[in-house]
Amino acid sequence: MGQWAGMRAPLLSLALLLPLLLFQPPPCCGQDAQAPHQDGPRFGFTQAVYHATVYENSAARTYANSKVKMGIHLALRSWEIRYRITSGDDEGFFKAEEYVLGDFCFLRVRTKGGNAAILNREIQDNYVLTVKASVKGEAYLETWTKVSIQVLDMNDLRPLFSPTTYSVTIAESTPLRTSIAQVTATDADIGSNGEFYYFFKGKMELFAVHPTSGVVSLSGKLSVDEQNRYDLEILAVDRGMKLYGNNGVSSTAKLFVHVERVNEHIPVMSVVSHIPSWLDKDPVYAMVTVEDLDEGLNGEVDSVAIVAGDPSEQFFLERSEEGGFAIKASESVDWESYPYGYNLTLQAKDRGTPQKFSAVKVVRLMVKKPQTVEVKFEQESYEISLNEISPPGTIVAAVKIRPEPDDAEYILSPSADSAYFRMNTLTGVISTARWFTKVPQDVFNLEVLEVDSELRVKVRVTIDDANDNTPTFALTSYEVFVNESVPVGTNVLTVSAVDEDKGENGYITYSISSLHPLPFKINQFSGIISTTRELDFESSSENLVFVVRASDWGSPYRRESEVNVTIHLENVNDNQPLFEKVACQGAVSRDFPVDEVITTMSAIDVDELELVKYKILSGNEWGFFDLNPDSGVLTLRRSLTTASPKNGVFSLKITATDGENFSDPMFVNISIVHGKFPPKSFNCKETRVAQKLAEKLLKKSKASTKPKVEEGFIDLFSVNRQTPQFDKAFPTDIAVREDLKVGSSVFKVNAYDGDTGFNGQILHSISDGNTDSCFTIDMETGLMSVFLPMDREKRDRYLLNLTIYDLGVPQKTTWRLLTIYVEDANDNAPQFLQGGYRTTIPENTAVGTDIIQIEATDKDLGPNGDIVYSVLTSTTQFGINSTNGIVYVAGQLDREFVSAFNLKIEARDKAEKGNQKFSVTTLKITLEDVNDCPPAFIPSVYNARALEDLPVGTVVAWLETQDPDLGLGGQVRYSLANDYNGRFEVDKASGAIRLTKELDYETQQFYNLTVRAKDKGRPVSLLSVTFVEVEVVDVNENLYTPYFSHFALTGSVKENTRIGTTVLQVTARDEDDGRDGEIQYSIRDGSGLGRFAIDEETVAKQNFGHWVSG
């Protein structure tokens, strides 16, 4: 690089026109000057506007440089031209000069000397000058042009920091290469003169500053314990100064870096919601994971709290072993009041100082429940009919809530009615506890309570009447006295019986049971006994005894009862005396003696042989005769001598009476004759009354002496003689499959009873052993069936007490024991011992190594309970022993490729019939890191470009490696295998490659650095090597413009000179070094263009261009 020599004038002396003379030009004048005239030669500048440049701070008499020649062609060599600046130079910086060379008068603009102000680009960078040209002595020869002077920048200002002091606080955990601050400086110069570099004043390993942006980044690991403050001094170096060889610092800034163990990051929550089932035990509603990027206590999560949405405090968060938080319910959640779920607001806090809280997060908790299905009893109320003769142990009903939890518990609310029933608390089955045949109550109101849900339901049990009651007469026997004279159809007695049964079972009809005809009938509905014919005490038995039977209308048999009825006939004077002889005729002499018996009247009264009185009704008006009222002897009371009966015959009308009834009158005709006549010569008509009476008495006597068979009447249907018996083929045990559907038949109990009717009717019941209410028996048919599903895994056998009863009185019973073995059905899927499995193994675990045993159990038996294990997830790294569930390594593992495996393991039974059952669990296998991966450079090879003028300490490249190993095995340290004599260094932790010496493009353009990256793994650390190719970028050090020592040179040549003859030598200088200082010459313009040539060759420092003729 060339050195600044303090000479600015040579920079302005670059001439665009090479054939200039080396002497001071005379004034612009011609030898043949003429006065101008209208049609004279043209007088004017070659251009209306010229552009020229001049550096600021130029010394006095420094000429502006123009790429074109400025001036006027001399049409007449006699013209003496003068240039003058007429405007645009108010400050008086510039002066216009003339210089004549040949037929051209050059316009040259220079800075003034003396006390004139110095140009300052930063104040004004352009001047537009109006230049007037005139010819001396020619008043009308004037012309004007404009010259735009561009003031070029000189590197005369230094960079300035604003502000000059910076302070920043960073966290101890700030990652490497993080930008922590930016310093800012400005330079009012432009172009390369305004460019500058930032760098640290002293060597700094923990920090790096970008040379152009001023961004300060972290290049080393910080530790508050080692140092909590760094005072950095940052310099700004003007590139121009450095290029010119002046390394003076133009400006300095202070950066104070405070390192704190900052609780920088807030916890960040992630929530995974679950929708558990309505029936789940200890449900988890959501899982919350919290991540905090801070280290140490600042990164530890203290807690997660519910800050809103749970006024009743029904939920809490439970911390798991893995560090997550499970949202659970502390009690039974009132989902009914919140049908759309709960919106809980969560917030997490860490253990840092000060503590930081996460942003609140709202999580919606829901529960999976049957749509529009609430927990309630299957019926709003239960109406149940129960046969009155149901034995104890008869199942009444199963009362259940739906959906039913596993721990449902049912109880009967205590009451007078509940004493007749018992409740299976686990199954909700109500059964009878006693007989109902003697219970007058026919409706029982029960209340069932489910303990956990506190739900209640009403159960109304109506007892259906059975024909279990026999009609009962109001009296044990009936006896009545009946007058024999009652008319036919007279009601003589009403018998009454009652039956406590209902309906037709209690509807009674009556009948008379007698082996002989009776003069009575009974109304079958009312029990009224009435006569069917006239009663006759005299001809029938005085006491009529018979049986009245009361029968109900029940089924399957009628029940009957009998009562003895005795009817006593009362004798009534209902018969008139009957004469044994009537229509008597006889004769007596007129001298028949007084008081002498004429004849005797004889009348019989069958009413208990009542005494008969006799009386003459007529024919004895004169009193000739006397009739003894008691004996019926008719005697002569007066002598007949004076008697003069009509027609000589007395006609006596005689009657007999028993005191109430009079017999039909009979007539005794007595004829009076003279003389002696047998006194008793009467002729009468025989009535045979005595014979008839004898026959009637004989009949009555026979009726009274007949055997009373009715008194010994035996009802064979009413005697319960035999006990019911089980069939001889009754087994001691049976087997049923546990999956037998509800309602399916299990067993038919065969029994018999030798009695008939109700005495032989058998009732069946399960009186004991039906623990789970799985069975029921039809009490009439004895068919046993499934009432509730069986579960062999819960109970594999039942010992039932089967009891049979008859319906006789007294009731007789027998029982037998029946063992029911529950055969296994494949109704259970295998169950894993854990909800999920986890294990951690080294990633270099050998193939074939057993790592964990997955165990499942199946409550079923035989093949139904035998388990086969398999891995459902497609993997070649792991396998499982199908028999014992041991998971083993089956393929090569690589944690860096796959760090964890989530396998689905299936356990399936070997059921031979029906569908096999299975369960699936998860196995998470986490691979533990082993230092098996060397650091890998990213990229594998580095290419960096560095400007040759970068300041020492600049980071030219950042190394980056990836080591997927964990812990020490993933911590990488860098080193250089070659540093080119200390020209480069690498930060062992951050991988920053810094310059430690200046670069020089001209000395070396490329550096190939060998870089090593080595981890800290134990027991063996791994190493990687890469190459960093640093290309040195050339910086334009061609600072100086070549310049001629003279503005113009004059030479001469003879007209016949040979081609190639040297005419003139020009000399130019360049202050740059090396190639930048080498000069090439060329002819650019002029009247001799094409006629002359110049030697292009150059030499260092002093170059000679040889002008030759062409």
User: Average of pLDDT values for 711-733?
Assistant: 77
* The predicted structure's pLDDT at residue 243: 58
**Three-state DSSP class for 975?**
strand
- Cα–Cα distances in Å, from 893 out to 880, 900, 968? 16, 10, 20
Find all residues with CB under 8 Å of 1092, minimum gap 6, and list them. Answer: 1063, 1083, 1107, 1108, 1109, 1110
d(CA 969, CA 934): 9
* The predicted structure's pLDDT at residue 509: 92
User: Average of pLDDT values for 929-956?
Assistant: 88
Quick check: 636 and 625 in contact, CB under 8 A? yes
- Cα–Cα distances in Å, from 798 out to 47, 56, 782, 826, 1013? 129, 119, 18, 20, 77
User: Average of pLDDT values for 686-706?
Assistant: 71
Sign, Cα dihedral of 620, 622, 625, 629:
positive
In 691-836 the beta strands, taken as DSSP E runs, fall at: 725-726, 733-737, 745-748, 751-752, 762-768, 775-777, 783-786, 797-806, 813-823, 831-832
* Tens digit of each residue's pLDDT (9 = 90 or more) over 881-936: 999 999 999 999 988 889 899 999 999 999 888 889 999 999 999 998 888 888 99
690 has pLDDT over 50: yes
* The predicted structure's pLDDT at residue 866: 92
* The predicted structure's pLDDT at residue 883: 92
Q: Which residue has the higher pLDDT, 398 or 5?
A: 398
Adjacent-strand bridge partners of 651 = 669
Q: Which residue has the higher pLDDT, 204 or 571?
A: 204
Structure tokens at 396: 């009444």
Adjacent-strand bridge partners of 1066 = 1105
Find all residues with CB under 8 Å of 609, minimum gap 6, and list them. Answer: none
d(CA 543, CA 479): 10
Quick check: 272 and 365 in contact, CB under 8 A? no
Q: Which of 464, 466, 428 is nearest to 446 (CA)?
A: 428
Quick check: 84 and 117 in contact, CB under 8 A? no
Q: Which of 537, 540, 527, 390 is nearest to 472 (CA)?
A: 527
Q: Which of 668, 559, 664 is nearest to 619 (CA)?
A: 668
Question: SS3 breakdown of the chain: % helix, strand, coil, rounded to 5?
Answer: 5, 45, 50
Radius of gyration of the chain (CA): 75
d(CA 47, CA 45): 5
Q: Tell me which of 258-272, 708-722, 955-969 is least confident.
A: 708-722
Q: Using 50, 70 and 90 to split pLDDT, how confident is the model at 971?
A: confident
Amino acid at site 617? L
* Tens digit of each residue's pLDDT (9 = 90 or more) over 1071-1106: 777 777 778 888 877 776 777 888 876 432 233 444
Quick check: 942 and 1025 in contact, CB under 8 A? no
Give the helix/strand (H/E) hosting 700: helix 689-704
* The predicted structure's pLDDT at residue 775: 93
* The predicted structure's pLDDT at residue 680: 58
35 has pLDDT over 60: no
* The predicted structure's pLDDT at residue 816: 94
**Three-state DSSP class for 564?**
strand
Dihedral pair phi/psi, residue 1002, rounded to 5°: -70, -20
Find all residues with CB under 8 Å of 656, minimum gap 6, and list them. Answer: 577, 579, 601, 603, 605, 612, 613, 614, 615, 632, 662, 663
C-beta atoms surrounding 451 within 10 Å: 12
997 has pLDDT over 80: yes
Per-chain mean pLDDT for the chain: 83
* Tens digit of each residue's pLDDT (9 = 90 or more) over 334-350: 777 777 788 889 898 88
CA dihedral 50, 51, 57, 63 (to 10 degrees): -50
Quick check: 872 and 905 in contact, CB under 8 A? yes
C-beta atoms surrounding 1014 within 10 Å: 20
943 has pLDDT over 70: yes
Query: Which range scores top for mean pLDDT: 135-139, 643-647, 1043-1047?
Result: 135-139
* The predicted structure's pLDDT at residue 559: 84
Q: Which of 738, 599, 611 is nearest to 678 (CA)?
A: 599
Q: Using 50, 70 and 90 to split pLDDT, how confident is the model at 21?
A: very low
Place of tokens 């009946």: 482
* The predicted structure's pLDDT at residue 711: 45
d(CA 981, CA 986): 13
Q: Which of 570, 602, 604, 569 is nearest to 692 (CA)?
A: 604
Q: Rounded to the nearest 5 degrees, what angle is found at the Cα of 559, between the Cα atoms of 558 and 562?
A: 125
Instruction: Report cis status (omega within 30 of 0) of the bond before 629.
Output: no
Amino acid at site 42? R
Q: Using 50, 70 and 90 to split pLDDT, how confident is the model at 240?
A: low
User: Average of pLDDT values for 66-73?
Assistant: 91
Find all residues with CB under 8 Å of 685, minimum gap 6, and list them. Answer: 581, 582, 583, 584
* The predicted structure's pLDDT at residue 1054: 81
Dihedral pair phi/psi, residue 311, rounded to 5°: -65, -30
d(CA 825, CA 830): 13
Sign, Cα dihedral of 968, 974, 975, 978:
positive
d(CA 320, CA 324): 5
Sign, Cα dihedral of 826, 832, 835, 841:
negative
d(CA 322, CA 361): 21
* The predicted structure's pLDDT at residue 292: 84
* Tens digit of each residue's pLDDT (9 = 90 or more) over 282-308: 788 888 888 888 777 888 888 888 889
Q: Using 50, 70 and 90 to split pLDDT, how confident is the model at 1109?
A: very low
Quick check: 109 and 52 in contact, CB under 8 A? yes
* Tens digit of each residue's pLDDT (9 = 90 or more) over 834-859: 888 999 999 889 999 999 999 999 98
Structure tokens at 6: 């303090």
DSSP letter at 113 equals: -
* The predicted structure's pLDDT at residue 4: 32
Edge-to-edge strand list for the sheet holding 94-101: 71-73, 104-111, 94-101
Instruction: Report cis status (omega within 30 of 0) of the bond before 1019.
Output: yes
Q: Which residue has the higher pLDDT, 279 or 267?
A: 267
170 has pLDDT over 60: yes
Adjacent-strand bridge partners of 361 = 346
Q: Rounded to the nearest 5 degrees, what angle is found at the Cα of 1038, between the Cα atoms of 1032 and 1044?
A: 165
Q: Which of 120, 58, 128 is nearest to 86 (CA)?
A: 128
Structure tokens at 816: 């037998």
* The predicted structure's pLDDT at residue 335: 75
* The predicted structure's pLDDT at residue 746: 93
Structure tokens at 820: 């029911």
Structure tokens at 441: 């109550």
* The predicted structure's pLDDT at residue 1102: 31
* The predicted structure's pLDDT at residue 29: 44
d(CA 937, CA 494): 126
C-beta atoms surrounding 525 within 10 Å: 10
Dihedral pair phi/psi, residue 223, rounded to 5°: -145, 120
d(CA 719, CA 723): 12
DSSP letter at 1086 equals: S
Q: Tell me which of 16-20, 217-221, 875-879, 991-995 is least confident.
A: 16-20
Q: Using 50, 70 and 90 to split pLDDT, how confident is the model at 3?
A: very low
User: Average of pLDDT values for 202-217?
Assistant: 88
DSSP letter at 145 equals: E
Sign, Cα dihedral of 398, 401, 402, 405:
negative
C-beta atoms surrounding 1046 within 10 Å: 15
Quick check: 105 and 81 in contact, CB under 8 A? yes
The structure's pTM equals: 0.53
d(CA 89, CA 271): 78
Find all residues with CB under 8 Å of 251, minimum gap 6, and list them. Answer: 158, 159, 160, 161, 164, 185, 235, 236
